[in-house]
Structure 1
Amino acid sequence: MTTRTASCGCGQLRIKVNGAPLAVGVCHCFACQQRTGSVFAALAAFAPPYAVSGKAQEYLRTGDQGARFRFRFCPVCGSNLFHTEESVADNSVAVAVGCFSDPSFPPPRDSIYDCRRHTWVTLPAGVTIHARDPA
């Protein structure tokens, strides 16, 4: 089974996940743009179990449709490493793809909140487009 480790910029906070991602996507919602400081967030969801090491600061955000997301970031360098959705029964975790530092990581299969995608952002062929959150 494949094991991957993602870490914050300073290496203090890490998450170790197992297996292939359940999903890989990009989100263009304004909250993700503000949270990442970029024009979208690239995320990969993984099934439990996963192991976190280091100290994390948390930020709880309520999404447009009422879902509650608990974001974890490094209190030292500020990197946003992973988040969970409180109402998801499978207890999966979404990890920021860039924190794996792996240019060969699988490409996104979904584009969420595409209605807010910057016009100059081009997506890979075959990506499923969702105008808003499909949940």
Structure 2
Amino acid sequence: MNGKEKKTTGACVCGALKFEFTGEPAMKALCHCLECQHRTGSAYTTNLLIPRTNFTFKPSSPSVMKTYTFTQSDTGLHFKTTFCGECGTLISKANDEAEDFKPVYIVGAGCLDDGIGSAKPDAELWVGHRANWLPAMDGAAQLKGFS
């Protein structure tokens, strides 16, 4: 790419909270945990684990940025979510307790400006909570928890 790192952009549904990151995700995963189901009202979330050093919210958007912390019931870990205060779109989750999560933000793949097409998951997490009508994703590691 002519010596330049790939830059990816994204935003909430109303466009008030924007972000960007450089490089590739450290991992792409579907999460079937109960909290992801509750937070989204869906069967799972599609997540990109982005190194924190590569991720930034755009300067014009922090005024609408809101946060909420929840406890993941299977582990007791606390995740701080960042969402748009205008439209409610969940952008990211972060955890500062577990060594595996400290270096990354967990970003919702559906918030990417170019769409979710290139975000095919490497793994499915918390498969014990996967809806019984959903098959396992071909080629994705099937994990009982976060690892």
The answer, yes or no, to whether TM exceeds 0.5 is yes
Q: What is the CA-CA distance between 1:100 and the residue it aligns to?
A: 0.6
Q: Matched residues, percent identical?
A: 24
Which is higher, the Rg of structure 1 or of structure 2? 2
Which residue is 2:95 aligned to? Answer: 85
TM-score by length of 2: 0.84
Cα pair 1:18 1:49 within 8 Å, conserved: yes
Query: May I ask how many residue pairs the two structures share in their alignment?
Result: 134
Which residue is 1:125 aligned to? Answer: 138
Determine helix, strand or coil for the equivalent of 2:121: coil
TM-score by length of 1: 0.91
1:5 equivalent to 2:9? Answer: yes
Cα pair 2:23 2:54 within 8 Å, conserved: no
1:75 equivalent to 2:85? Answer: yes
Superimposed CA distance per residue, residues 31-78 of structure 1 (whole angstroms, 9 cap, x where no aligned partner)? 100101111011001112321131211111122323221100111001
- Please identify, of 78-87 and 124-133, the stretch whose mean Cα deviation from structure 2 is larger: 124-133
Determine helix, strand or coil for the equivalent of 2:20: strand
Q: Give the counterpart letter for 1:92 in structure 2.
A: V
Runs of 4+ aligned structure 1 residues displaced above 4 Å come to: none
Q: Give the counterpart letter for 1:98 in structure 2.
A: G
Show structure 2 runs of 5+ residues with no match. Answer: none
